[in-house]
Amino acid sequence: GAPKGVEVTHRAVLANLEQIRKASALGADDVVVSWMPYFHDMGLIGTHLAPLAAGAKQVKIGPLSFAKRPRVWFEVADRHRATVLSAANFALALAVRRVPDEV
């Protein structure tokens, strides 16, 4: 069927942020490098709002840049001395297939 939107309430977002805070040690000294789009829950909550709430530095890569050349994610992470990377299984599988063994 056709895609359907899901309403996410302010209360739900705050509850999710609190869960992430409790489960992680994310803090102001962290550097989060992400390519995940904001229309994805992990992109919005996990790699944008949670780091924002923690005072962490964020470095963003366009999703298409990652899809075309996954190695860019690791290059940017290295350049910015990332402490946090996050991705779905499909992205890790893509990186394993497309990034040379010497990396």
Identify the band that residue 88 occupies on the pLDDT scale cut at 50, 70 and 90.
confident
Q: What is the C-alpha to C-alpha distance for residues 57 and 101, in angstroms, rounded to an integer?
A: 29
Q: What's the average model confidence in pLDDT over 16-23?
A: 90
| 3-state SS class at 34 | strand
pTM: 0.85
Question: For residue 17, what pLDDT is reported?
Answer: 92
Q: Is 81 left (phi over 0), alpha (psi -120 to 50) or beta?
A: left
Give the tens place of pLDDT for each residue, 44-79.
999 999 999 999 999 999 999 999 999 999 999 999
Going from N- to C-terminal start, the domains of the chain cover: 27-98
Residue 5: predicted pLDDT: 84
Q: Quick one: pLDDT at residue 103?
A: 53
> Among residues 31, 94, 84, 86, which one has the least CA distance to residue 57?
31
> How far is 42 from 63, CA to CA, in rounded Å?
13
